[in-house]
Structure 1
Amino acid sequence: MGLDPGLRRLALGTLLAAYAGPVPPDWAVDLLADGLAGHTLFGTNVHDPAQLAASTAALRAGRPDVILAIDEEGGDVTRLAHATGSPYPGNAALGAVDDPDLTRAVYAAIGAELAAVGITLDLAPTVDVNTADENPVIGTRSFGADPKRVAVHSAAAVAGLQSVGVAACAKHFPGHGATVADSHHELPTVDVPPAVLRERDLPPFAAVIDAGVRAVMTAHIRVPALTADGPATFSRAVLHDLLRVEYGFTGTVITDALEMKGAALAAGGVGPAAVRALAAGADLLCIGAQVDADLVELVAAEIVGALGDGRLARARVEEAAGRTAALAGWSGPADAPPPAADDLGYAAALRAVHVEGDLPGPAPALVVQVHATSTVAEGRVPWGLGPHLAAGVEQARAVAGETDPAALRRLAGQRPVVLVGRHLHRLPGARELVEALAATHPVTVVEMGWPGDWRPTGARAFVATYGASHANGHAAARVLGLTD
C-alpha cells in the first residue's frame, strides 16, 4: 500500500535533495512536480555556466518555484569554481581587510553570478566566530575570532547576496567556531553555558536576523546545557526557544546535511534524523550530497509514518512546508544588480595579505608547497602559488613528516625558499619541517589557511593570505614578486 498522496506531498515539501552529474535525471525533475522543495547543487553538478544554467532551467520546468541551493562561500568553499579555485577571497580574508563595504560588494558579485545561472539560495555566509585555532572545519570560512567584527561582516554579506535576489542562509546555528572536531565525521561538543554562547557565538546571528536574512542553517554540534546528548539540529531548545523566541527569527530554518555523521549517527539514519529535526523546529531538511530517488522516498515515508504514529504533529510539518514555500517564493529586490568589476576579488585578496618580517629580494626562489588534505566542505579544489608563478620559477612539493629538509636544501642551493602551506600549525610534522629548513636556509612561510598563533622559529618572513582561493594565491605571488 502506497503513501497517502497528500501526506507524501507535504513531506516532500520539507526536503532538499541532490543528484549526481551535470544533467538532472528524470527522477530529480519528476519529484519536483510531486512537491519536492528543491535540490542542492555540488561541484559534480557544475561544469561551466552555460551547462549549469541549462540544468537549473530543466529543474525549474519541474516546478517554477523550486529552491535551487548551492554552497558558494567564495574562498575555500566554492562550487562554481571548484576546478580552478574561487576568484574571490573568503570570509577570513574579508574580515582581515575589515571593510564592510568590500564584503558587501564581494557577496553581491558572488550573488550576481549565482542569479545568472538560476541559483536561488546560497548556503552562505558562514557566520561562525572561529575562536579555536585548531578548528578543522570552519577556519578561513569565518570572518574572524572577534564576535563584533564577525557580526558586522556577516550582516554585510547577507545584504550583498540578497541585494541581487539570491536568498542568504547564515550558518551554523548556534555557532560551530569553538569546535575542534568536524561534524561531517562525528558529533562535536561545545561544553559552555548559554551565557557564553550569547556573548561569543550568537552576536553574528543577531546581526543577520536584523539584516533580514531569509534562512539560518543548524549545526550538528552538541551543547550539553541546551541539547543534552544530541545535536542542535534535533534540539527544540535551540531551534525554537533560542532562535525563534529569543532572537526573533521568522524565516526558514534549514538543517545541515542529515547524511553527516553528526546527525545520522545520533538519530540512527537519515530518515529518523529528518523526523527529529522537524519535531525540533527545522523547516527545510538538507538530505546531503549522496542522494537518489529511493532515499528521498525513504525519508518522505519516515515523515509520513511519524505523522501517523504521533512522533510528528501535522501542524508542525505544515508550518515547515509553509516556511519553505515562502523561501521558494521570495524574489528579492526588483533592481538589476550593477556589474561587478572584473578584478574585485583579486584586489580584495591583495588587501588581505599580511606580511611579518623581511621578504626575500628579487633573486629567484624555490617555491615548496606542503601537501595538505581538504575537508568535505572544501572538496578537492586546486590551491597554492603554482598557477601564478612567473616562467622559470621552480616549484617542488613536500609532505610533512616524510620529506627530508636536507633534500630541499640541496634542491634550493643558494636560492631562498618560499614554503607554502595550509594550517601548518596543526599539520603533523609541518612545524618540524619548516623549522629544520629555516635553521640553515632563508625561508619565507606563506600560510594559506587559518594562521593561528604559531610562528616558525628562524623564518625570515611569515605571510598570511587568510585563505587558499585562486584570488589568494594570485595575491600572495604578487606580494612576493613571483609573478610576471
Structure 2
Amino acid sequence: MSTDPGLRRLALHTLLAAFPGHTAPGWALELLSEGLAGHTLFGTNVGDPGQLAALTAELRTARPDVLIAIDEEGGDVTRLGHRTGSAYPGNAALGAVDDPELTRLVYAAIGADLAAAGVNLNLAPTVDVNTADDNPIIGTRSFGADPALVARHAGAAITGLESTGVAACAKHFPGHGATVTDSHLELPTVDVPLGLLRERDLPPFAAAVAAGAQAVMSAHIRVPALTGDLPATFSRAALTGLLRGEYGFRGVIVTDALEMRGAAGVAGSIPRAAVAALAAGADLLCIGADVDRALVEAVAAEIVAAVGDGRLELGRLEGAVARTAALAAWSATPRPAANRDDELGVAAARRAVTVEGSPAELRSPLVVQLVAGYSIAEGRVPWGLKPHLNGTEHIELVAGSTTAEAIAAQAGNRPIVVVGRRIHSSPAGRELVGELAATRPVGVVEMGWPSDWRPEGTRAFIVTHGASHANGRAAAEALGLAH
C-alpha cells in the first residue's frame, strides 16, 4: 500500500468527519491541519450559541478554510434547535403556504443563524418530491407532492440560504420521495422508467442547479433504469452522466452518510463505499456520525490504495479535491444578519395551519399527545403543544397502551384535543380518536404528513404540516390555548 503523504492529503480533503461533544478532540483538529476537508456537526455538538460559536472558531484555528456542515432543515430536522424544536416551520409547511418569497426569507433566516454560529455548509434543503404518503424518511421534510411546487421552493430556499454566505446542498439526488423504506436501514428501490423520474423527481434538482446551489447530495437509493443494481451514490450514470452531463451541475457532489446501510451495507465497508462514491463522481464524502480517527485513517488509506491499484483514477481524486477546495473558498466568510426577526418562524407557521370545523367547541380541553416515533434523520427532538399552553392540562400516552374509557375518565366533562404525527398510519390511534369522538367533543391536531383521514364526529381538525416549535405555537393559537 502506498504511503505517499501527498496522496493521503488529497484523500483527506474529500472527507467530512464528525466527533462527539461540545469541544473538538485533539485528533479532529490534527486531521484538519493534515488536510481533512471538515466536520459535520450533530445535536451532540450543539449546546448554547456561545459554545457553538467557540467550537467552530476552534475548528478554524486548525484550518481556516474548514468546511463545517450541519443538517439544519428547519421543521422536523434541526440541530440548532434539537433541545426545543426548530424556531422555523419546515418544508411541508412552506409548501402548503406556497409563497416562494416566504420560503426565501425563512431560509435566509436559517442561514443567518448558521452564519452566526460559524457553520458554512448546510446539508439542506430537501428537494425530494414526496409522492409516497407512507415515506418513512422524507414526509414533512418535502415541500410537497407536486414537482413544479417543489422546484419553485427549492430555488427560493437555495437563494435565501446562500444570500448569507452559507452553502446550500440540495438533497437527495435523484429523488428519495417515492421510497417506502429508509436508506439508513436498507437500500430502497425506485423501480420506475427514466422518463417518469425526469417528470416527477428531477425538476427540483434542475431548479437547484439553476439557483446556484453550491452542492447536491446523492441518495443511497437504487433506480434500476438509471443505476442498475447500485445506489445512486455509487452510480457513474447518475452522478457523472445525469447530474453533471445532462443537468450541467458544476458544484460539489456530496454523499449522504456512508455509514448508512444503503451505502456501507452494499459496498461491504465504509472505506470501500468511499472509493465507490469517488469513482462514480462524488467529491465530498460524509462518513457519518459515529466517527473516530481510526475510521478516518482507514477511509483515507483505502482511497490511497485504490489510486495505487487502479480502482480510482488520480485525476478523479484531484478533481474532487479541486471542487471541494472551491466550495471551501466560496463559504469561507458566512454573513450573520444585521437584524434578526424573532417572529418570522411563528408568523410563517401560522400561515401553514389549516383549520376544519369549530375549535370554539373545544374550550378548556384535556390535551392528549400520542407518543410517536422519529426517523434517524430527525432524532429525538421535542414537539407538540405543551410549551405553548396557557395552563391547559397536557398528557402524553401511547395509543395502544391505553383506552378511550381511561382518557375520558381523566377528562371528566372537558373536551379532548388529540395531538399526533401521522395518526392515520396508526390503527390504535385511529381507533382511539374514533371512540373518544363518539362520546364527547374531540379535536385533532395532525403535525405530520397530512392525509385524507377525518374521523367521524370530530369537532375540529387542524393540520400544521410539521412539528417544529413554531408549528406547535401556531396550533396552540388556532385552538385558543396559547399563553
TM normalised by structure 1 equals 0.98
User: Hey, what does 1:421 align to over in structure 2?
Assistant: 420
Pairing 1:286-305 to 2, within 5 Å after superposition: 286-305=286-305
Tell me how far apart the structure 2 counterparts of residues 331 and 317 of structure 1 sit (CA, whole Å).
21
User: Hey, what does 1:113 align to over in structure 2?
Assistant: 113
User: Hey, what does 1:445 align to over in structure 2?
Assistant: 444
Report the residue type matching 1:46 in the other structure.
V
Is the CA contact (8 Å cut-off) linking 1:360 and 1:444 kept in structure 2?
no
Q: Secondary structure at the residue paired with 1:361? A: helix
Q: Does 1:10 align with 2:46?
A: no
Q: Does 1:182 align with 2:182?
A: yes
Tell me how far apart the structure 2 counterparts of residues 458 and 189 of structure 1 sit (CA, whole Å).
40
User: Hey, what does 2:363 align to over in structure 1?
Assistant: 363
Q: Where does structure 2 lack aligned partners over 5 or more consecutive residues?
A: none
User: Hey, what does 1:283 align to over in structure 2?
Assistant: 283
CA gap of 1:457–1:229, structure 2 versus 1, over 3 A, is farther
Structure 1 range deviating more: 446-455 or 432-441: 432-441
User: Hey, what does 1:463 align to over in structure 2?
Assistant: 462
User: Hey, what does 2:257 align to over in structure 1?
Assistant: 257
Is the CA contact (8 Å cut-off) linking 1:450 and 1:467 kept in structure 2?
yes
Is the CA contact (8 Å cut-off) linking 1:164 and 1:332 kept in structure 2?
no
Q: Does 1:159 align with 2:159?
A: yes
Tell me how far apart the structure 1 counterparts of residues 98 and 115 of structure 2 sit (CA, whole Å).
26
Q: Does 1:168 align with 2:150?
A: no
Report the residue type matching 2:409 in the other structure.
R
Deviation at 1:338, TM superposition (A): 4.8
Deviation at 1:441, TM superposition (A): 2.2
User: Hey, what does 1:472 align to over in structure 2?
Assistant: 471
Is the CA contact (8 Å cut-off) linking 1:162 and 1:332 kept in structure 2?
no
Q: What are the Cα deviations for residues 415-458 of structure 1, in whole angstroms up to 9, with x where unaligned? A: 11100001112235221222122222221110001012222232
Tell me how far apart the structure 2 counterparts of residues 445 and 203 of structure 1 sit (CA, whole Å).
35
Report the residue type matching 2:345 in the other structure.
G
Structure 1 range deviating more: 336-345 or 395-404: 336-345
User: Hey, what does 1:430 align to over in structure 2?
Assistant: 429
Q: What are the Cα deviations for residues 307-340 of structure 1, in whole angstroms up to 9, with x where unaligned? A: 1111100000111111111100104899874523
Tell me how far apart the structure 1 counterparts of residues 185 and 334 of structure 2 sit (CA, whole Å).
42
Pairing 1:203-222 to 2, within 5 Å after superposition: 203-222=203-222
User: Hey, what does 2:347 align to over in structure 1?
Assistant: 347
Report the residue type matching 2:5 in the other structure.
P
CA gap of 1:68–1:334, structure 2 versus 1, over 3 A, is closer
User: Hey, what does 2:316 align to over in structure 1?
Assistant: 316
Tell me how far apart the structure 2 counterparts of residues 236 and 177 of structure 1 sit (CA, whole Å).
21
Tell me how far apart the structure 1 counterparts of residues 336 and 76 of structure 2 sit (CA, whole Å).
28
Is the CA contact (8 Å cut-off) linking 1:170 and 1:215 kept in structure 2?
yes
Pairing 1:224-263 to 2, within 5 Å after superposition: 224-263=224-263
Tell me how far apart the structure 1 counterparts of residues 177 and 453 of structure 2 sit (CA, whole Å).
19
Matched-pair identity in %: 68
Is the CA contact (8 Å cut-off) linking 2:118 and 2:334 kept in structure 1?
no
User: Hey, what does 2:402 align to over in structure 1?
Assistant: 403
Deviation at 1:139, TM superposition (A): 0.5
Q: Secondary structure at the residue paired with 2:263? A: helix
Q: Secondary structure at the residue paired with 2:172? A: strand
Q: Secondary structure at the residue paired with 2:229? A: coil
User: Hey, what does 1:50 align to over in structure 2?
Assistant: 50
User: Hey, what does 1:200 align to over in structure 2?
Assistant: 200
Report the residue type matching 2:480 in the other structure.
G
Is the CA contact (8 Å cut-off) linking 2:116 and 2:335 kept in structure 1?
no
Deviation at 1:135, TM superposition (A): 0.5
Q: Where does structure 1 lack aligned partners over 5 or more consecutive residues?
A: none
User: Hey, what does 1:19 align to over in structure 2?
Assistant: 19
Is the CA contact (8 Å cut-off) linking 1:275 and 1:302 kept in structure 2?
yes
Q: Secondary structure at the residue paired with 1:128? A: coil
Q: Does 1:98 align with 2:98?
A: yes
Tell me how far apart the structure 2 counterparts of residues 236 and 279 of structure 1 sit (CA, whole Å).
7
Deviation at 1:53, TM superposition (A): 0.7
Q: Secondary structure at the residue paired with 2:461? A: strand
Is the CA contact (8 Å cut-off) linking 1:32 and 1:38 kept in structure 2?
yes
Q: What are the Cα deviations for residues 271-300 of structure 1, in whole angstroms up to 9, with x where unaligned? A: 100010001100000000000000000000
TM normalised by structure 2 equals 0.98
Q: Does 1:148 align with 2:148?
A: yes
Is the CA contact (8 Å cut-off) linking 1:93 and 1:467 kept in structure 2?
yes
Deviation at 1:357, TM superposition (A): 1.9
User: Hey, what does 1:60 align to over in structure 2?
Assistant: 60
Report the residue type matching 1:344 in the other structure.
L
Is the CA contact (8 Å cut-off) linking 1:360 and 1:416 kept in structure 2?
no
